[in-house]
Structures are given as structure tokens and as C-alpha cells.
């Protein structure tokens, strides 16, 4: 019994989705579910979002197969080989950034694609200046390919001026396809959060975002964090003043005290600290730092709970003097970094 779980609040997801729709001004909504829905469990999140989205997007075919949906799924990773084209799923849309690859496809079958254009990230994509040529080539030589969308990625939205320029160059080339191609899209979460950026993409008709659905970002405009890791003690015991607690004599009890045992540790990807060089000077700094600034990662309500020693493989020890076995603690870890095997509990209170 680990007594450790990740609570996912579906009402908050609903709230975030409503907010996305409000901010994006009636654009179609593509929910990004890559990375196991940012660590929250792709199957359940997809099921909940099914009637709230126009499209799903995932990283690759393996993720797409985990979703049970009537909606179309855009594969965000561009195709690199013919094998990436699944023949057994009807609802896939492929990202293409290499027209030569289209040659190798089955001419008898129809494929829906979105063309990815590079607007400055140089990660992948067709160069903007080649887009017209590529579209013309596909339209005249590949009758089995449907160009259903064009998109690019806003990769530096902290710099609004840069982003507005990026949008402008994308617009110049894509605007003429507004009526002939179904989906022209740019907005991701960080773009959606910026008013100037939202305004500048008025020529696009779809928002493609992940972060803000799950509330990793955007608190300032009202998005809510939808996940929370929770734990109850699996055991407790008393120790005498002066006893050492945990590995490496890392903690010595300053009084007779009660120790609480929490059933998670490094295995759940909890408690990894940066590798630090140990020397006297550094250790001294650390002592001072910890004295001034105790930054807790386990909480009871708003109060930080002291971890004794370092988290082990599968347990973490805490100062349990003021707590009981019924107390529920919250644990500050990012679902993206936490072990995906941690049990998820999906909560829904509002009935539709
Ligand atoms: C991950 C990803 C997104 C979603 O980004 P968020 O910041 O989570 O909204 C959008 N587009 C592409 C191409 C991505 O890879």
C-alpha cells in the first residue's frame, strides 16, 4: 500500500477548456495530449475531452493508439518514414515537412496531412518561401493527399516583438489559403496567454494547446492547476532524542519525536536533487540557505512539512509530531517528471 496518488480534477479541466474557448475567440480547439496528456493519463483525459474538442494532437502513433476517439488525431512529429503511416487507423492526420516522402505512399489510399512550416525554430519544417511550391506540387501530383492544414510553432513568446514578426511572416504566405485549406494554426498555450499575440493571429482558425488545459501555466489569467499529488502515511514510529533517522546519518532527532513514513521516494521520481559538488564552502552555504529559506515540497494545508534526511528509493520520512495517520499531505512534483505508474484518481463533482 503506497497511499500515494495523483488527483486530477476534471471540473478544473472543464473550467480551463471554457477559458481557452473564450480567449481564442471561437477558433476550433485542438487539445494536445502528448506525453501521456502531460503526465495525467492520456486515456482518461481524452475520454473526458471527447465532446469538448474539435481535434486531438499527440506526439506519435503509439500515443494515438491509446486514445479511443471519434475525433481526428494530428500526429505532431513529422513523418520520417513510410512505416509511420498507419493503415489501420482512419482518423489520423499526419504532419508532413518533407514532400519527397509522399512518393513512397500507397497511391490507392487517401491521406490527410497538415504541412508544418519553419518560422524560425529550425527544428523541423518546410521553409516558408517553399510553401507555395510544395502545395502546388502536392495538389497537382498527389491526388491521394488532402492538405487539411498548415501550421507552425510559436517558440519564443516571451519576446512578443519577435513573435509578432514571426506571425507576420507566416501570415504573408498562408493568408491566401484561408478559404481553400481547412485549418491554419499557430496559437499554443503561451501565445494564447498574450493579448497582442491573440490579436495578431486573427487570420488563423484553430488553437492547438496543451499546457493551459492542465494548468501548468496561465494562473494570472485564471487557468487552474488540475492535478495534485496526495499522500497519507503508511506507518509512524517514535524515536528518542539523538537517534539518527534515514540513510547516511543525514538527520539526527533534536528531541523525542514521531516519524511518519510516506510510501514514495526515488522510484516515483521524487526527491532527486541536482548533483552538487561537495566541499566545505558549499555545505556551509547550503546550511545558511536552508536556514533562511526552507522550501518545502510536502504540505499539510498551506504548512510545509519537514522531510527528515533524504527521500529513499521507496519511502520518505517526515516530522510527524503534529499529524495523524488520517492526514492527507500534498506533494509538490510535476506530473511530467513523476513516474507515470503513479495511480491517478479522477474527480468530477459537477454533473452535466
Ligand atoms: C507541444 C506542442 C504544442 C502544445 O504546446 P503548449 O505549450 O502545451 O500549448 C503545440 N504545438 C506543437 C507542435 C507542440 O509540439
Smallest CA-to-CA distance from 43 within 339, 348, 344 is with 344
Please name the residue ranges forming H helices in the chain.
Answer: 10-23, 34-39, 42-49, 61-65, 131-141, 160-174, 189-192, 195-200, 211-214, 280-292
- What would the grid cell of residue 134 be? 510544395
Q: Enter the pTM of the model.
A: 0.90
Q: How far, in Å, from the CA of 251 to the mean position of ligand 1?
A: 43
- What would the grid cell of residue 235 be? 506507518
Q: How far, in Å, from the CA of 185 to the mean position of ligand 1?
A: 11
Intervals of CATH 2.40.37.10 along the chain: 233-327
d(CA 116, CA 125): 5
Smallest CA-to-CA distance from 44 within 68, 73, 65 is with 68
Smallest CA-to-CA distance from 185 within 199, 202, 162, 206 is with 206
Q: Which atom of ligand 1 is nearest to the CA of 208?
A: 10
| 60 Cβ contact list (under 8 Å, min separation 6) | 75, 76, 77, 84
d(CA 41, CA 39): 6
**Three-state DSSP state, 169:** helix
Q: Does any ligand 1 atom lie closer than 6 A to the CB of residue 187?
A: no
pLDDT in 10s for each residue of the chain, 352 residues: 689 999 999 999 999 999 999 999 889 999 999 999 999 999 999 999 999 999 999 999 999 999 999 999 999 998 777 777 776 889 999 999 988 888 888 888 899 999 999 998 777 889 999 999 999 999 999 999 999 999 999 999 999 999 999 999 999 999 999 999 999 999 999 999 999 999 999 999 999 999 999 999 999 999 999 999 999 999 999 999 999 888 777 889 999 999 999 999 988 888 765 444 455 666 666 666 555 556 788 999 999 999 998 888 889 999 999 999 999 999 998 898 899 999 999 999 876 5
CATH fold of 10-217 reads TIM Barrel (3.20.20)
Q: What superfamily does domain 233-327 belong to in CATH?
A: Lyase, Ornithine Decarboxylase; Chain A, domain 1 (2.40.37.10)
Q: Which atom of ligand 1 is nearest to the CA of 189?
A: 9
**Three-state DSSP state, 102:** helix
Q: Does any ligand 1 atom lie closer than 6 A to the CB of residue 190?
A: yes
d(CA 287, CA 306): 15
Q: How far, in Å, from the CA of 189 to the mean position of ligand 1?
A: 7
Contact between 163 and 192 under an 8 Å Cβ cutoff? The reply is no
CA distances to 42, 242, 267, 310, 311 from 273, in Å: 28, 26, 14, 10, 10
E strands along 168-315, which residues?
183-185, 206-209, 227-231, 233-239, 244-245, 251-252, 257-262, 298-300, 303-304
Q: What is the DSSP string of 150-164?
A: EE-----TTSHHHHH
Intervals of CATH 3.20.20.10 along the chain: 10-217
d(CA 120, CA 156): 9
Distance of CA 170 to the CA centre of its chain: 25
Amino acid at each position: 500500500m503506497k497511499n500515494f496518488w495523483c488527483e486530477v480534477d476534471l471540473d478544473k479541466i472543464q473550467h480551463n477548456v471554457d477559458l481557452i474557448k473564450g480567449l481564442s475567440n471561437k477558433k476550433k480547439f485542438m487539445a494536445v495530449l502528448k506525453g501521456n496528456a502531460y503526465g495525467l493519463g492520456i486515456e482518461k483525459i481524452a475520454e473526458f475531452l471527447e465532446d469538448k474538442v474539435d481535434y486531438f494532437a499527440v506526439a506519435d502513433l503509439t500515443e494515438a493508439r491509446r486514445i479511443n476517439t471519434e475525433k481526428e488525431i494530428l500526429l505532431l512529429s513529422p513523418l520520417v518514414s513510410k512505416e509511420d503511416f498507419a493503415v489501420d487507423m482512419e482518423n489520423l492526420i499526419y504532419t508532413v515537412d518533407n514532400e519527397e516522402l509522399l512518393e513512397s505512399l500507397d497511391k490507392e489510399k487517401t491521406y490527410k496531412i497538415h504541412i508544418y512550416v519553419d518560422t524560425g525554430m529550425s527544428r523541423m519544417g518546410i521553409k516558408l518561401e517553399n510553401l507555395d511550391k510544395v502545395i502546388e506540387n502536392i495538389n497537382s501530383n498527389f491526388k491521394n493527399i488532402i492538405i487539411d492544414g498548415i501550421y507552425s510553432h510559436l517558440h519564443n513568446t516571451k519576446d512578443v516583438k519577435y513573435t509578432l514578426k514571426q506571425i507576420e511572416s507566416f501570415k504573408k504566405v498562408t493568408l491566401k489559403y484561408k478559404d481553400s485549406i481547412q485549418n491554419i494554426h499557430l496559437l499554443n498555450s503561451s501565445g494564447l496567454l498574450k493579448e497582442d499575440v491573440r490579436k495578431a493571429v486573427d487570420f488563423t482558425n484553430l488553437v492547438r494547446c496543451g499546457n493551459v488545459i492542465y494548468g501548468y501555466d496561465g494562473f494570472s489569467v485564471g487557468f487552474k492547476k488540475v492535478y495534485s499529488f496526495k499522500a497519507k502515511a503508511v506507518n509512524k514510529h517514535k524515536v528518542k532524542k539523538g537517534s539518527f533517522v534515514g540513510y547516511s546519518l543525514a538527520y539526527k532527532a533534536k528531541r523525542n519525536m514521531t516519524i511518519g513514513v510516506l510510501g514514495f521516494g526515488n522510484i516515483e521520481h521524487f526527491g532527486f536533487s541536482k548533483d552538487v559538488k561537495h566541499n566545505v564552502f558549499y555545505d556551509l552555504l547550503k546550511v545558511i540557505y536552508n536556514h533562511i529559506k526552507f522550501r518545502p515540497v510536502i504540505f499539510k494545508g498551506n504548512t510545509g512539512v519537514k522531510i527528515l534526511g533524504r527521500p529513499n528509493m521507496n519511502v520518505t520520512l517526515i516530522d510527524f509530531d503534529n499529524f495523524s495517520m488520517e492526514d492527507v499531505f500534498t506533494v509538490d512534483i510535476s506530473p511530467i517528471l513523476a513516474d507515470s505508474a503513479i495511480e491517478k484518481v479522477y474527480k468530477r463533482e459537477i454533473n452535466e
